[in-house]
Structure 1
């Protein structure tokens, strides 16, 4: 039986399935990362909040997590810098006494058509969203292998990995790389009892979306989606908890899609509605 077993949680602990686990989440001072940190804390895990440029917001998340009865810490680091990531992982292990869960969430995106791209912004998107994910997955996995206790790695990717969204070439490229990176890592780390999985969020209500869209656009366009709204950050957090739950130990190399149906062919429903109208008129 592996160290992480589906029988390792008693019924009394079912509401806190990550009790005793230690998690590091990149880009967790706001948005999806914040939602993941809060849900993991709610599930009983100690959490380290990585941030790049928002220390006040990171400390606010720390306080929210502590209020849920767990230890929480904040560490500033540029995820695109391999040396800073290694230092952050070491610091997180020292503060929490080890590392059981790594969530690669930090991302950057600048939206321009390919022919109009500012190459500094293009490279920054790749450096943070692709190389940053790799640096964290690699450094986190090394600590887990050294401990010999297995672990969980969750990579927050995107439907952009397989949907060539115009105006987002660098981000599309980075997320496609994330998917292959995570699946390859899942193969290479399985014998070490380290599970690696992906989450594909849909259109989520985050501060980052306001970089590209007005509030009224988010509300009106969100209402047109199959589920009638944008996703919420803690819905992604609950997905991350599910993947890291010891009862999910047979899941590795998989992609959990949490998108309210946005990748379904929902726009094609007009064909059904039109056929209905034609039938009713005859």
Structure 2
């Protein structure tokens, strides 16, 4: 197992891609801190799946969009398991609107969770790794929209573009600490956030026409990339984005 003896914290891991990442990391030997906004049934379903892999797990609730919660999430995780070796910044939201109709509340929600949250969770994680004088892994779940325009989702694209530059900057700044920082950028993945798309055959058909592999991604496709970046196989990889999109990014065109 590639991650035996490691502890990973996965934000937003109550469902979808986050749950798949948490379970796959557990299958590779890591103990898992399941973070979600609420201590709810969904988070505990992920926890049950982690424990079914024979690993330790715990649920930690916190609003990733609040810096105080970000600091507490890391502190609680360290208090429970003694260490956190791997941080996966997976929590994310999006809001669709024409640019001229975007509300301040929706803008703040998207930027706070997707970018500010990742910033301050990572800051607290780095402080922990400095204190214990140990290396670490930071893996951000970004999006092809860190590169690809997405009309009607400008705040989402801004948050992911910011995440890309944050990752590059931190990769340089944190390298002397032995902390690698990378992004995984999924394309269209079959998760609850895409329920509307999945229920619209014409939209789905048009999208599949842009994906050379001619299928939507699965959460496990993303989880596999995270395992690689968390493992010693990627010890010399930092400051890069691993795109997991079936070829969408370089084949995309507006219909």
Shared fold by TM > 0.5?
yes
Q: Which runs of 5+ in 1 are unaligned?
A: 1-15, 269-282
State how 1:107-186 maps to structure 2 within 5 Å. Answer: 107-186=92-171
Q: Is the contact made by 2:148 and 2:249 (CA closer than 8 Å) also made in structure 1?
A: no
Give the paired residue count: 252
With over 3 angstroms needed to count, the CA separation of the structure-2 counterparts of 1:256 and 1:54, relative to structure 1, is same
**What is aligned with 1:236?**
222
Task: Measure the CA separation in 1 of the matches of 2:234 and 2:95.
Answer: 35
The ranges of structure 1 where at least 4 consecutive aligned residues each deviate by more than 6 angstroms after the TM superposition are none
Q: Distance in 2 between matches of 1:252 and 1:39?
A: 21
Q: Is the 8 A contact 2:78 2:84 kept in 1?
A: yes
Q: 1:266 to 1:81 in 2, by over 3 A?
A: closer
Secondary structure, aligned partner of 2:180: strand
TM, length-normalised to structure 1:
0.86
- Aligned to 2:197, what secondary structure does the other structure show? coil
Q: Deviations over 1:196-237 (max 9, x none)?
A: 111111100111112x43524375345432111110101111
1:255 to 241, 244, 248: 241
Residues in 2 aligned to 1:112 and 1:54: alpha-carbon distance in whole angstroms? 30
Q: Any conservation in 2 of the 1:33–1:105 contact (CA below 8 Å)?
A: yes
Tell me the alpha carbon deviations over residues 43-67 of structure 1, each in whole angstroms, 9 at most, x when there is no partner: 1000001111461011000000100
| Offset, 1:113 | 1.2
Counterpart in the other structure of 2:2: 17
Contact map agreement 1:26 1:106 (CA 8 A) in 2: yes
8 Å CA contact retained: 1:29, 1:54:
no
Alignment map for 1:1-282 (pairs within 5 Å): 16-53=1-38, 55-210=40-195, 212-217=196-201, 220-221=205-206, 223-224=208-209, 225-265=211-251
- 1:217-271, Cα deviation, whole Å (9 max, x unpaired): 3753454321111101011111000001112201111111111000122669xxx
Contact 1:226 1:266 in 2 (8 A): no
TM norm structure 2: 0.94
Distance, in Å, in 1 between the alignment partners of 2:252 and 2:79 is: 48
CA distance, structure 2, for counterparts of residue 177 and residue 267 of structure 1? 23
Does the residue aligned with 1:39 lie in a helix, a strand or coil?
helix
